[in-house]
Homo-oligomer: A and B are copies of this chain.
Amino acid sequence: VIPDSRLDALLAEDAPHGDLTTETLGVGPLPGRISYTAREPLVLAGVEEASRLLARTGCTPRVLQASGASLQPGELLLEADGSAAALHLGWKVALHLLEQLSGIATRTRRLVDAASAGAGGRPVPVAATRKGFPGTRDLALLGVRAGGGIAHRLGLSDSLLLFAQHAVFFGPGGLPEAIARLKARQPEQKVVVEVASLAEALAAARAGADVIQVEKLPPAAFAEVAAACHALPTPPRIAATGGVDESNAGAYAAAGADLLVTSAPYAARPAEIRVEITRR
């Protein structure tokens, strides 16, 4: 649940002291209607929050499609009645939120579909990294989830992920001990280890890593890693990461990935949504 104060901050960012144009024109009190319609095929996200934004400016909104819905061009998704002043205050903030989040959702869905197609029915979740615009994780994850994706990790506090940048401190050869320590002390957490080669992957797997996150191997090389790891007595889950996008998601899934870890959703271009304001 996005708090009211967060929504109010989005509105205040755009109009800290009201809408100068509409107020100066003197048309503020006139009644009107705003409608948001898909201009292209898209997966909708953020519509409940956009609706709340419009309500907070004084409009009466109606949500016509839920987040997660696949829309075709021309489908109406959100509508609101209100004064010209209220409509203009909420118009663009609601629009930009819808466009950004639906862009993320649409791209996530494409990744999910590609992974699913490549996997031949095996579930291969698509997990979004932390690499979005700082300060937007709460909103961006709404888009990811609407698209059918999940969060790779919410941040540093909730999960165990060993990078080479940790090994710098515990030293070469310290991985088995490091993994053992993490597993012993955090028995409710899986241990995820990022690796860059087959050798590293096998080392991590043998040391007990629950998830091996393979960074920037092409699908063919990735397939070798996955096969080798899956053949172990206690096989870890194998995640592909680093440059994973819709062009290669299917290939990674076909190559045996149990999971795709990707920043691609955050780089989505905003979905195109048409706004119409009419007088009532």
Contact between chains at A130 and B14 (CB < 8 Å): yes
State in angstroms the CA–CA spacing of A127 and B20 once bound together. 14
Contact of A170 among B25, B270, B275 (CB under 8 A): B25
Residues on the B chain within 8 Å of A13, using CB: 134-135, 137-138, 155
Contact of A156 among B14, B181, B182 (CB under 8 A): B14
Residue of B whose beta carbon sits closest to that of A191: B21
Residues on the B chain within 8 Å of A150, using CB: 24, 185-186
Residue of B whose beta carbon sits closest to that of A49: B134
Q: How far is the CB of A238 from chain B (nearest CB, A)?
A: 10
Residues on the B chain within 8 Å of A17, using CB: 137-138, 141, 151, 154, 157-158
State in angstroms the CA–CA spacing of A60 and B17 once bound together. 27
Interface size (A, Cβ < 8 Å)? Answer: 97
Instruction: Count copies of this chain in the complex.
Output: 6
Contact between chains at B192 and A161 (CB < 8 Å): no
Residues on the B chain within 8 Å of A3, using CB: 5, 8-9, 11-12
Q: How far is the CB of A97 from chain B (nearest CB, A)?
A: 5
Contact between chains at B270 and A100 (CB < 8 Å): no
Contact between chains at B21 and A1 (CB < 8 Å): no
Q: How far is the CB of A122 from chain B (nearest CB, A)?
A: 9
A189 at the interface (CB under 8 A from B): yes
Q: Which residues of A contact B (CB under 8 A)?
A: 1, 3-6, 8-27, 30, 32, 56-58, 84, 88-89, 91-93, 96-97, 99-100, 123, 125, 127, 130-139, 141, 145, 150-162, 165-166, 168-170, 178, 181-182, 184-190, 192, 210-211, 237, 239, 258-259, 267, 269-270, 275, 277-279
List 24 A-B residue pairs with CB atoms under 8 Å apart, sorted by A's residue number. A5-B8, A9-B135, A13-B135, A17-B154, A17-B157, A20-B160, A21-B156, A21-B159, A21-B160, A21-B182, A25-B170, A26-B181, A32-B169, A96-B132, A125-B186, A133-B133, A150-B185, A152-B188, A153-B188, A154-B157, A165-B277, A187-B259, A188-B237, A189-B190
Given contact pairs A20-B156, A188-B237, enumerate 9 new A-B contacts (beta carbons under 8 Å): A16-B16, A20-B189, A24-B181, A88-B165, A99-B131, A100-B133, A123-B185, A154-B157, A267-B269
